[in-house]
Amino acid sequence: MNVFGKRLAVEPMPPHSELVETNSGKPAGLSTASLVEEREEEVWVERICQGDLEAFDHFITRYRERALRLAALVLHDSDSAEDVVQEAFLRVYGQIGQYRGDCRFYTWFYRIVVRCCLNRMRVPYWKREREFLSEVRWEGMRSCPETETEARFTVSQLLAGISPPLRAALLMREVEGMDYAEIAAALEIPVGTVRSRLNAARGQFREMWRQIIEEANHV
């Protein structure tokens, strides 16, 4: 039985924040809705641990598109993202007993998605020249409707030039809106390393963007 249903297109979401970072990297506080969502998540996890397929289907429905978006941006390939996300869901179902509850369940799931992505990129036949035209929109890069498509393509190319570990941290922060602690848990690295990776990724991105602007001005 294919519990994953039909193939879905990756639908992008607006970034959670600008490239300018705050000191905390964490939202001001959890809303009542967030607390309710967290409690509901705990119930789903308990049911999945008991082998409840309906609960697992609910989990897939809730997180599939977000996982697809993250995987597609990390891999820079939407087709491979489908395979990676399906592998991640299978791993979740097989490893659900390893979830210790020391972080949010979606954070633990994102860790698996990113790990599957990085493993995929180690495969020799990976074709880096394949282009995924993402809908990521960074602050200050929307000049006018006529150049918006070109800007998205440029951003996609720049993201491809950042190493996968740095790119994963940047996308989790800027696209998924995850705070430092969540990113650290997902990537299994210290919070300090998250900060350094974000600083490095933003620095590389800005430098490549500056070079593109300079080249355009000399045309």
What tens digit of pLDDT does each residue of 178-187 get?
888 888 888 8
Query: Residues 96, 146: one domain?
Result: no
Query: Residues 161, 218: one domain?
Result: yes
pLDDT mean across residues, the chain:
72
Query: Residues 111, 154: one domain?
Result: no
Residue 196 has pLDDT above 90, yes or no: yes
Query: Are residues 78 and 72 in contact, defined by beta-carbon separation less than 8 angstroms?
Result: yes
Q: Using alpha carbons only, what angle is made at residue 118 by residues 117 and 120, rounded to the nearest 5 degrees? A: 65
Asked whether residue 69 is domain-assigned, the answer is yes
User: Taking the C-alpha atoms of 180, 90, 117 and 122 in order, what is their torsion angle to the nearest 10 degrees?
Assistant: 140
Alpha-carbon distance of 198 to 204, in angstroms, equals: 10
Alpha-carbon distance of 86 to 77, in angstroms, equals: 15
Query: Residues 139, 183: one domain?
Result: yes
Query: Residues 158, 75: one domain?
Result: no
Condensed to tens digits (0 to 9), the pLDDT of residues 1-57 reads 344 443 333 333 334 444 444 454 555 455 566 677 778 888 888 888 888 888 888
Q: Look at residues 97, 123, 149 and tell me which one is the last residue of a structural domain.
A: 123
Place of tokens 């210790």: 100
Query: Residues 148, 216: one domain?
Result: yes
Place of tokens 């035209």: 133
CB atoms within 10 A of CB 126: 13
Query: Are residues 126 and 120 in contact, defined by beta-carbon separation less than 8 angstroms?
Result: yes
Query: Residues 119, 37: one domain?
Result: yes
Handedness of CA 113, 74, 147, 208 (dihedral sign): positive
For residues 109-124, one letter each, b for 16 or more C-beta atoms within 10 angstroms of the residue's C-beta and e for the rest, the string is bbbbbbbbbbebbeee
Element (H, E) at 15: none
Based on the number of CB atoms within 10 Å of its own CB, is 172 exposed (0-12), middle (13-18) or buried (19 or more)? buried
Number of domains in the chain: 2
Helix axes 191-217, 180-187, angle to 10 degrees: 100
Asked whether residue 160 is domain-assigned, the answer is yes
Asked whether residue 170 is domain-assigned, the answer is yes
Residue 139 has pLDDT above 80, yes or no: no
Asked whether residue 24 is domain-assigned, the answer is no
Residue 108 has pLDDT above 80, yes or no: yes
Query: Residues 139, 79: one domain?
Result: no
Asked whether residue 218 is domain-assigned, the answer is yes
Alpha-carbon distance of 10 to 28, in angstroms, equals: 29
Query: Residues 139, 190: one domain?
Result: yes
Query: Residues 156, 100: one domain?
Result: no
Place of tokens 């998250």: 194
Asked whether residue 5 is domain-assigned, the answer is no
Q: What is the CATH number of the domain that holds 167?
A: 1.10.10.10
Asked whether residue 2 is domain-assigned, the answer is no
Asked whether residue 1 is domain-assigned, the answer is no
Q: Look at residues 123, 157, 184 and tell me which one is the last residue of a structural domain.
A: 123
Q: What is the CATH number of the domain that holds 75?
A: 1.10.1740.10
Query: Residues 84, 148: one domain?
Result: no
pTM of the full structure: 0.53
Tell me which DSSP letter residue 126 carries: -
Place of tokens 């697992």: 56
Query: Residues 40, 98: one domain?
Result: yes
Tell me how far apart the 2 most distant CA atoms of the chain are, in Å: 63
State the pLDDT confidence band at 160, using cuts at 50, 70 and 90.
confident
Instruction: Print the domain residue range for 44.
Output: 30-123
